[in-house]
Amino acid sequence: MFDPVTDAFIGGHWMSGPTRFAVTNPANGVVIAEVANLGPVQTVEAIDAAEKALPAWSALTAKARSAILMRWNALILENTEALAELMTAEQGKPLHEARGEVAYGAAFIEWFAEEAKRSYGHTIPTTASSKRMMSIKQPVGICAAITPWNFPIAMITRKVGPALAAGCTVVVKPSEETPLCALALARLAEIAGVPAGVLNIVTGTDAAAIGQVLCDDPRVRKLSFTGSTEVGKILYRQCAGTVKKLSLELGGNAPFIVFDDADLDAAVAGALASKYRNAGQTCVCANRMLVQSGIYDAFAERLAQEVGAFAVGSGSDPDTVIGPLINDEAVNKVEGLVNGALEMGAKALTGGARHDAGAQFFTPTVLIDVTPQMEIFSQEIFGPVAPLFRFETEAEAIALANGTPYGLASYFYSQNVNRCWRVGEALEFGMVGINEGLFSTEVAPFGGWKESGLGREGASEGLSEYLETKYLCFGGVQ
């Protein structure tokens, strides 16, 4: 692991800040680094820098911006191992998962570097012989990105990649839990030739104050946030005053439906991949396992057998499958949901309690006999716990799945092609995995319905979020 960058990055300069805060390894509590602790004043300075850099950056051709982004992508990939080790140290996920995230994160830079050259406008058939009409796409302007700790590289590149490709400049506020990956990305962007002020990283512990500045400043024309629905609603309200363009990727409560006609081996493999990746700390991970009665017992037994064999420990150990949760609050929440379910009659086939690997570890768990009346049905668990709910009919499964204010990700397993079409169309979620537990990719749109957010990231839709459409009407044509 290379020495972490610990100063914030504003206007092409590394800033130490008025104070510093500690970043710790969640596996053992050891302090990794002391990072610059900025606040509202420095956030305004970052917006100033982004404003100064905007005209020249947006004036570059898409091809010129693409070349710089491609160099950044190459540097990220060249430093995969160092970035993965840094991520595991500050976030906790197993090293093999961290390597995967580095590749995933770099893919967004590559994709949008290519996609920027295809941000086409349109010619419009005229309504009068003296007129010619067309539309063009232009960058929205200065953008703010507030990113979470669970994917500290990919959640930044998924926002910054399209913003920079479109010609926007960006101010990023990374999570105070995982600022080191953000600063490492900025260092590589600097080396790649991203001009001063185009990318700014504001690190700090007062997220509310920094977010308020980003929402209130009229120069910031776009805000992209990934995090809880509760915080997303606050930001939504704060942005109303300046009518900003918004992308909100918020909480989820993903159903994972297993029908009687499912391929059992595939369903178990998909459940393991979806539920237990990053110790269950993903917004798209399976949160409610809905299993049809005919296959319920067999699925539960097989799943518990696999989960019970998971190695738990520090993410730096090559054998580790389940690393630590991010902090004490996360462990307390998971423990409370599990205990509440057990008290109401659920049973733990495996796990069900904290793990002795350390204060922030929870044993990978499979719960059976869980019912919709238990709190665990309606809450996003964000931990390595799979609660299994029994259902009888397809209609019941769809009703249970859709019975949530969230609509981010969903999954189901069936070998019946007619059912695949019916259920896929009936689920009220922005993303549906059909016989597939992992579907995130830079080439497809990522985002949710209902209280899971607004807008899409990735794919061509992701670039559009950072562009405005301008209609040009030429009159007096002879």
Cβ atoms 5, 183 nearer than 8 A: yes
Cα-flanking dihedrals φ and ψ of residue 123, to 5°?
A: -95, 140
Listed residue (139, 161, 84) closest to 443, CA to CA: 161
- The CA distance from 195 to 56, in Å, is 9
Domain 254-441 classified CATH 3.40.309.10? yes
> Quick one: pLDDT at residue 2?
63
Q: Is 445 helix (H, G, I), strand (E, B) or coil?
A: coil
362 beta partners:
354
- Which residues, 6+ apart, have CB-to-CB distance to 100 below 8 Å? none
- Whether 343 is a known active-site residue: answer no
CA distance 260 to 36: 54
CA–CA separation, 280 and 246 (whole Å): 27
What whole-number distance in Å separates Cα of residue 332 and Cα of residue 41? 35
Model pTM?
A: 0.96
The CATH 3.40.605.10 portion of the chain extends over 8-250+452-473
**What distance in Å separates the CA atoms of residue 377 and residue 353, rounded to the nearest whole number?**
18
Q: Which of 176, 249, 380, 451 is catalytic?
A: 249
Residue 418 CB coordination number (10 Å): 8
Q: Which of 114, 102, 104, 12 is nearest to 65 (CA)?
A: 114
Residue ranges matching CATH 3.40.309.10 in the chain: 254-441
392 three-class SS: coil
- 283: annotated active-site residue: yes
Q: What pLDDT was estimated at residue 6?
A: 97
Select from 226, 287, 228 the least CA-distant residue to 456.
226
Annotated active-site residue in 143, 181, 239, 283: 283
What is the residue type of 214?
L
The residue among 250, 281, 272 whose CA lies nearest residue 93 is 281
Q: Per residue of the chain (478 residues), give pLDDT as tens.
A: 568 999 999 999 999 999 999 999 999 999 999 999 999 999 999 999 999 999 999 999 999 999 999 999 999 999 999 999 999 999 999 999 999 999 999 999 999 999 999 999 999 999 999 999 999 999 999 999 999 999 999 999 999 999 999 999 999 999 999 999 999 999 999 999 999 999 999 999 999 999 999 999 999 999 999 999 999 999 999 999 999 999 999 999 999 999 999 999 999 999 999 999 999 999 999 999 999 999 999 999 999 999 999 999 999 999 999 999 999 999 999 999 999 999 999 999 999 999 999 999 999 999 999 999 999 999 999 999 999 999 999 999 999 999 999 999 999 999 999 999 999 999 999 999 999 999 999 999 999 999 999 999 999 999 999 999 999 999 999 9
d(CA 57, CA 195): 8
Q: What is the torsional sign of CA 143, 454, 250, 431? A: negative
What is the fold of 8-250+452-473?
A: Aldehyde Dehydrogenase; Chain A, domain 1 (3.40.605)
Distances (CA, A) of 86 to 6, 145, 189, 385: 12, 21, 17, 26
User: Per DSSP, what are the bridge partners of residue 453?
Assistant: 249
User: Up-side HSE of residue 44: CA atoms within 13 Å toward CB?
Assistant: 5
The residue written with tokens 């659920």 in the block is 346
End-to-end CA distance of the chain: 67
Single out the residue of 363, 382, 148 nearest to residue 285, CA to CA.
Answer: 382
Q: β-strands 245-249, 453-454: how paired?
A: antiparallel
Q: Which of 407, 384, 237, 396 is nearest to 320 (CA)?
A: 384
Rounded-to-integer distance, Cα 200 and Cα 46, Å? 6
